[in-house]
Amino acid sequence: MRRALIAAIASMALALPAAAQQVGGRMTLQAYAGIFRDNYTQVVVNPFTSARGTQVQYHDGGTSAQMLGTLRAQKADPQIDVTIMDVTTAAIACAEGLVERIDASVLPVIGELDQMARDSGGACGPAVTYDHLVMIYDTRSVTPAPTRWEAMWDPAQRGRVALSAPPNIQGLALTAILAHAASGNWRNVGAAMPRLRELAPNVQTFDPNPDGYTLILNDQVRFATGWNARAQLYRDQSQGRIGVVLPEEGTAFQVNTINLVAGSKNRQQALAFMAHALSAEAQKAFTERMYYGPTNPRAQVSAEAMGRTALAPEFRNRVIPLDWNEMVRLRDNWNQRWRREVIAASGR
C-alpha cells in the first residue's frame, strides 16, 4: 500500500517536468515532399510529437511557388499552420501578409540564430535550412574528379551538360556565381553572359527532366547543377556514382525559411514547432541526416556532416554574398538575356 503510494508520487514527479512542456493538440506543416519529407519527419517532426504530444499533419506542398499558391488560396480560412519554403517565395508571402511577422520576443529561439538566418526572413520567419548550389557529375566517366565549374566547359563534354535556366533559381544562382567569379560582383550579369554563351554548345538541356541526378544515372549527361543536400543523398544512394563538388569558383546559398501562417488556428502548437525546428538539437539532427547547413550555430554537428555543407570552414569563403531579395528585381532581365544570348546560342 505504502509502496504503491510512493510509486505513484514518484511517477507524478517524473511526469511533472514533461507535463509542463506538453502542448498537445494538432497542427499542419507545409513543406517539400519526397526525401525532404521522409527525413524531416523522422528526425525533426517525430521527436517533436513525442516530446510535446502534438500531432503534426505533414502537407506535401510541392514547389515553393505551389506552397505560396496554397497559402493564397486559403487566405480566408488557413488550413496550414507552419510553412517551410524558399526565401524568395517566403518574402512574397510576407509582403502579402500571408505569414506573420515574428521576432525573438515572440519566439526566443530566433535570438540563437546566426545573423544571416535572422536577416533572411526580413520581418517574417527566419531561415531554417541552408543549402547551396553544387556541381554534380558522373564519377564513372569524369576523371580526374573535377574541382571547378570550369570542367563543364571542356569541349569533350559537348551535349553532356544539364543546366536549369532561369527563372529556375539554380540558373539564377549559377549566373550570379559566374558573375561574381568574373567581376567580383554577383549582380554583374554582363560578366557572366560570355561564359554562359561558351558553355551553351555543351548543354544537352536547359530544363532537366525529371532532374539532373536521373539524367546522369541514365547516361544522358555527365554534369548538372544541384542543391547540395539532395545531391549528398543521391551520392550516397548511388554508391558514389554521382559526385558532388562545391566548386572553387564559388557557390551561393539557397535558404529555406520557416513561417507562421497568418490566422493559424493552432498558433500555440505552431510556435512550439518552430521553436523546436530552430533548436540546436533539431538543427543538428537534420544536418546530420540530410546535410542542410544549420541556421542555429549552437547545433553541435559532427565534423563529418558539417564537412558536407557549405558551412565547413574550408568552404565558407566560397559562398558569394548573394541577396535573393535583390535577385527578385534582377530576375526578369537575367531571364531575357539567357533566352536571347545563351539558349539561342546553344545551337540545337
Task: Please tell me the distance from the alpha carbon of residue 348 to that of residue 111, in angstroms, as a whole number.
Answer: 52
Q: How many helices (H) and strands (E) does the chain have?
A: 15, 9
What is the CB-side half-sphere exposure of residue 322 using CA atoms within 13 A? 35
State which of residues 60, 207, 236, 248 lies at the interface with another protein (CB under 8 A). 207
Task: Please tell me the distance from the alpha carbon of residue 221 to that of residue 204, in angstroms, as a whole number.
Answer: 7
State which of residues 42, 66, 79, 188 lies at the interface with another protein (CB under 8 A). 66
Q: Is 165 in the site for another protein (CB under 8 A)?
A: yes
Instruction: Find the shortest distance in angstroms from Cβ 74 to another protein.
Output: 14
Q: Is 89 in the site for another protein (CB under 8 A)?
A: yes
If the CB atoms of residues 168 and 183 are measured against another protein, the closer one turns out to be: 168
325 CB neighbour count, 10 Å cutoff: 12
State which of residues 76, 210, 239, 313 lies at the interface with another protein (CB under 8 A). 210
Instruction: Find the shortest distance in angstroms from Cβ 90 to another protein.
Output: 11
Q: Which three cell numbers stand for residue 15?
A: 511526469
Binding mask 319-338 for another protein (x = CB under 8 A): ------x--xx-xx--xx--
Q: Where are the alpha helices (DSSP H) in 96-241?
A: 115-120, 169-183, 189-199, 212-217, 228-237
Residues 211-250 that bind another protein (CB under 8 A): 218-220
Instruction: Find the shortest distance in angstroms from Cβ 339 to another protein.
Output: 7
- Phi, psi angles (nearest 5°) of residue 135: -95, 130
**CA geometry: angle at 94 spanning 89 and 100, to 5°?**
130
**CA geometry: angle at 81 spanning 86 and 91, to 5°?**
30
Task: Kindly indicate which of the ranges 35-43, 202-210, 231-239, 287-295 contains the residues binding another protein, using the contact rule CB under 8 A.
Answer: 202-210
Task: Please tell me the distance from the alpha carbon of residue 94 to that of residue 117, in angstroms, as a whole number.
Answer: 16
Pairing of strands 82-86, 161-162: unpaired
Q: Is 339 in the site for another protein (CB under 8 A)?
A: yes
Q: Is 75 in the site for another protein (CB under 8 A)?
A: no
Residue 327 near residue 171, CB atoms below 8 Å? no
Q: Is 348 in the site for another protein (CB under 8 A)?
A: yes
Residue 168 near residue 330, CB atoms below 8 Å? no
Q: Is 54 in the site for another protein (CB under 8 A)?
A: no
Instruction: Find the shortest distance in angstroms from Cβ 226 to another protein.
Output: 16
Residues 95-114 that bind another protein (CB under 8 A): 95-96
Q: Is 9 in the site for another protein (CB under 8 A)?
A: no
Instruction: Find the shortest distance in angstroms from Cβ 309 to another protein.
Output: 26
Burial class (CB in 10 A: 0-12, 13-18, 19+), 344: exposed
Q: Is 168 in the site for another protein (CB under 8 A)?
A: yes
If the CB atoms of residues 92 and 270 are measured against another protein, the closer one turns out to be: 92
State the number of binding residues for another protein (CB under 8 A): 38
Task: Please tell me the distance from the alpha carbon of residue 2 to that of residue 5, in angstroms, as a whole number.
Answer: 5
* Residues at the contact surface with another protein, assessed by CB under 8 A: 63, 65-66, 68-69, 72, 88-89, 91-92, 95-96, 159, 163-165, 167-168, 204-207, 209-210, 218-220, 325, 328-329, 331-332, 335-336, 339, 343, 346, 348
